[in-house]
Every structure is written in C-alpha cells, then in structure tokens.
C-alpha cells in the first residue's frame, strides 16, 4: 500500500473494511471523501475516507479519542479502520443540510439575523463541550455545521492533518478565511482558534461571504439588522491575535446575547469512588494532564498498601471506561515496573518493548503506540504512577518529555489529600512483610 495515497478509487456499491457498503458520495475535498454507507443492521452511516496514509498513527489516536465524545450537538464517531483503499472514520449520519448549502440556497445574500444567532448559540454549546474535553475541532466552518430537526450538529473533526511535500513540514488544516491566522501559519491551535472559525461562520451567514483577514468591511453596511454591539463582538472574536480574541465559546455565546445553560454531555474522565478521595479531583488531574501533554489517554494508578497491586483509580480519554478499577499483579507491565523501581520511563514504541503488558492492554480495547509512566512519590516512597499515553500528533514520547511529566506528578501528589494516608499504609504493609520474613 502506498504511503501517500490509497491504492485504488472506491465508489458506490463497493464494500470497505469488510462491513460497510458505500451508497453514494456526500461531499469531497482536499482531505478526503465523505460517503453515505450502510453498516451492520442496515444502519446508514457517514463514512469519511482519508487520503494521506502517512498519518496512520495520528489517525488511530485521534479517532479512538473522538469516539468517546457524547453530546447531542456533536457528531458521534462510531468506528475507524484502515484497509487497502484507505483510512476511514465512521460517523453517525446526521440528517439535515449543512449551513453552507443552506446559505447558498436561501442567502439573500445572508440568512435572517435571529436564525443565525440561534445556530451560533447551538454551535457554541457544541464547542464548549469539546473544549472542556481538551479537544479542538480545527475546522469550524458552515459546511461542518449540519442543521437538522433538532438544530445544529458539529461534524467532521480535523482528524488528519494535510501534509506538505516531504521535508517541508506540516501545513495547516482547515479552510482559508475560516481559519484563525495562527492556524494558517502553522502555529499551535487552541479553543480560541475554534472561536475564530465560528465568528467567521457567523459573519458569512449574515453577509453571504466570510470576512477578510485584513480589516473586515463594515458588517452593518451589508446587514442593516446588525447592531454596533454585535459587530464589535464579532470583531473581537476575529482578532488576529489569539491573546486578544474572545477566550471561549461560552464567552462568545454570552457576548452574542445567548448565555449557555448547564453543560451537558459525557465527560471523558472516569474514576473510582473512594471515601478518602474526591473523585472530581482525580478526574480534574487526569484531564489537565491530557491537555498539557496533548495525550489521548491519561491514568492514575495507586499501589494497594497490602498487596502492592497496581490499582487504576482514575483515567481520561480513550480506554478510560475499561481501565478504571483494573488491578494488576505487582511488577506487571510498565506501570508495575515504575512502581517497583521508582524510575520514570518513556517508551517511543510500546509494542516493541518487552515490559509492555500487551495482553492486558488488549483486554481494555486500547493498545497505545507510545507512553510515559512516572512515579507518584510521597515521603520517599512510591505510592502510585501517572501514565500518559499517545501524543495526539502521533509523535512518540521520549526522555526529553520526562522532566515535565515528573513535575506534574509532584504537583499531583501534593493535590491528593489521601497521599499521606496511602504512604503510611504502604510503609506499614512493608514493615509487616519484613517482620514476617524475619521470623
């Protein structure tokens, strides 16, 4: 199979992945094609075929993470796979028309103000949710907002980044004029990048065309219903400098006059309820670590003071549901090795490391590509481990990443009220074991 492109074209009637029959093409672009397809149980789905096979690792990591998202205004990722014809993401088929087509069909030149503001508030709700899960969409535009019977649904995340010619690095993903300037020049993305994309979408939905990167034309001259306050809000959301831009989707909704209600949707964090530990604290720690280290999965495991088993108490991201509550025998896997030695480990390729517990990972349904595991140390003793899995860019973790991970582990221990108690029980268990052996 070619590293650069799929081996063959596919079309209606063909079976891909051994289980999806392509019915018709929905759309196409530089990144790939989107098809309507039929899967198991005759369920119709949207199937996106990605062109660039050099990004298989990044594709796998991102798709696994996105499959955990659950929110009524965010498309559900159902499956992903790779075969000889390419890489595919399988999503629910959202019934409706994308905002770009609605604008082309009904725009005069734009859509009615109140209708656009309603769509904007719903899109802000979707973006607030994914940003709370440390995910950035990266390609917010009218074509990625489907308007159906239940309102707006955000679709088509930027799973695969378009690569430039070999040796020239990575080009930005997205659609010009809807992309934030920092994305266009290949700098880091953030939730503020999505705020820019949504503001440009609102502008285009009202004016019939997106704003210029230079000083935008007066929106009020194009759309008389627009108030000075609304135009000022959009200009602040479109500020070329992200540090000066409206900071969040929630803040944008408020500035547009539609404050968001109580947040909904399923968190990507999971934890075991323990009497001595607030589960929300553990979940905040793993979620924060995922954001800092751009990870697809993070977990905290603590040592059982009596048995020294590794017990997973909290996790975020891919595989979180399956790993929380798992107990591993002492010394098992990378986590067990770090717990025993107290030495941090960074593994560029987990599947090539003999210490990696592949069987256990497979049992959780998530086999990582790369990982870091650092000890949680209290009063000179190792009480647990922090595991950081799969950088979302697909790049491996290595020794250069360990110092920051160890600093975060120190902060984690200081934030755990139960750390002293765990440490004390661990020392008591170790003392008891030594007394037993000395008899």
Within the chain, which residue ranges are assigned CATH 3.30.200.20? 15-92
**Tokens 């809000």 label which residue?**
233
Angle between helices 191-207 and 99-106 (to 10 degrees): 20
Buried b / exposed e over 194-225, threshold 16 CB at 10 Å, is: bbbbbbbbbbbbbbbebbeeeebeebeebbee
CB atoms within 10 A of CB 50: 22
Place of tokens 């002492």: 330
DSSP 3-state percent helix, strand, coil across the chain (nearest 5): 40, 25, 40
Beta pairing, strands 15-16 & 32-38: unpaired
What pLDDT does residue 420 have?
Answer: 53
**Residue-level pLDDT at 194:** 96
Structure tokens at 396: 């491996």
**Given this structure, which CATH class describes domain 269-437?**
alpha beta
Pick the CATH number of 15-92 from 3.10.105.10, 3.20.20.150, 1.20.1260.10, 3.30.200.20: 3.30.200.20
The three-point CA angle 314-320-321 to 5° equals 105
CATH 1.10.510.10 residue window(s) in the chain = 97-255
Look at residue 329 in the predicted model and tell me its pLDDT.
Answer: 87
Residue 427: predicted pLDDT: 47
Residue 416 confidence (pLDDT):
79
- Counting Cα atoms < 13 Å in the Cβ hemisphere of 215 gives 1
CA-CA distances (angstroms) from residue 302 to 16, 93, 312, 416, 422? 43, 41, 6, 11, 8
Q: What is the pLDDT of residue 83?
A: 84
* Catalytically active residues, by annotation: 139
The tokens 């256990």 sit on which residue?
360
Per-10-residue mean pLDDT of the chain, 439 residues long, equals 52 86 81 84 89 76 90 94 86 93 95 97 97 91 93 81 34 71 86 96 95 76 92 95 96 96 91 68 91 93 86 91 89 89 93 77 79 92 93 92 97 76 50 41
Distances (CA, A) of 246 to 172, 226, 288: 22, 19, 22
Judge: domain 97-255, CATH 3.40.50.300.
no
- Side-chain half-sphere of 310: how many Cα atoms within 13 Å? 27
Alpha-carbon distance of 146 to 148, in angstroms, equals 6
pLDDT score for 366:
78
Please list, residue by residue across 139-169, b when 16 or more beta carbons sit within 10 angstroms of its beta carbon and e when fewer do.
Answer: bbbbbbbbbeeebbbbbbbbbbbbbeeeeee
Burial 227-243 (b: 16+ CB within 10 A, else e): eeebbebbbbbbbeebe
How far apart, in whole angstroms, are the C-alpha atoms of residue 110 and residue 230?
16
- Residue 231: phi, psi to the nearest 5? -65, -40
According to CATH, where is 3.30.450.40 located in the chain?
Answer: 269-437
Reported pTM: 0.85
DSSP character string of 274-337? BTTB-HHHHHHHHHHHHHHTTEEEEEEEEE-TTT--EEEEEEEETTHHHHTT-EE-TT-HHHHH
């Amino acid at each position: 199979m070619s590293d650069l492109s799929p081996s063959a074209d596919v079309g209606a009637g063909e079976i891909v992945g051994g289980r999806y029959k392509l019915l018709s093409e929905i759309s196409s672009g530089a990144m790939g094609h989107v098809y309507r397809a039929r899967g198991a149980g005759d369920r119709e789905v949207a199937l996106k075929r990605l062109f660039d096979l050099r990004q298989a690792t990044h594709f796998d990591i991102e798709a696994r993470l996105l499959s955990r998202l659950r929110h009524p205004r965010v498309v559900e990722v159902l499956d992903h796979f790779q075969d000889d014809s390419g890489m595919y993401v399988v999503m629910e088929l959202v019934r409706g028309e994308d905002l770009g087509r609605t604008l082309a069909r009904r725009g005069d030149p734009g859509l009615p103000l109140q209708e656009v503001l309603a769509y904007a508030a719903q899109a802000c709700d979707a973006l607030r949710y994914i940003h709370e899960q440390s995910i950035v969409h990266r390609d917010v535009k009218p074509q990625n907002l489907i308007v159906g019977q239940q309102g707006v649904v955000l679709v088509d995340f930027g799973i695969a980044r378009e690569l430039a010619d070999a040796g020239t690095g990575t080009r930005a993903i997205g659609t010009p004029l809807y992309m934030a300037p920092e994305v266009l020049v290949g700098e880091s993305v953030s939730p503020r990048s999505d705020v820019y994309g949504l503001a440009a979408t609102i502008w285009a939905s009202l004016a019939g065309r997106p704003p210029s990167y230079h000083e935008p034309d007066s929106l009020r001259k194009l759309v008389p219903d627009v108030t000075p306050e609304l135009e000022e809000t959009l200009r602040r959301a479109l500020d070329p400098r992200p540090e000066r831009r409206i900071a969040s989707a929630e803040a944008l909704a408020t500035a547009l006059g539609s404050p968001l209600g109580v947040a909904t949707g399923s968190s990507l964090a999971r934890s075991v309820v323990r009497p001595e530990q607030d589960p929300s604290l553990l979940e905040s720690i793993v979620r924060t670590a995922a954001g800092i280290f751009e990870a697809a999965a993070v977990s905290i495991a603590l040592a059982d003071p009596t048995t020294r088993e590794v017990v997973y108490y909290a996790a975020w991201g891919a595989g979180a549901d399956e790993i929380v509550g798992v107990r591993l025998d002492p010394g098992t896997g990378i986590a067990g090795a770090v717990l025993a030695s107290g030495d941090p480990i960074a593994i560029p390729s987990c599947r090539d490391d003999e210490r990696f517990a592949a069987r256990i990972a497979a049992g959780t349904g998530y086999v990582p590509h790369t990982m870091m595991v650092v000890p949680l140390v209290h009063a000179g003793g190792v009480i647990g481990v922090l595991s950081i899995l799969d950088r979302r860019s697909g790049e491996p973790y290595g020794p250069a990443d360990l110092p920051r991970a160890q600093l975060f582990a120190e902060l984690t221990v200081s934030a755990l009220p139960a750390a002293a108690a765990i440490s004390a029980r661990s020392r008591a268990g170790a003392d008891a074991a030594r007394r037993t052996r000395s008899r």
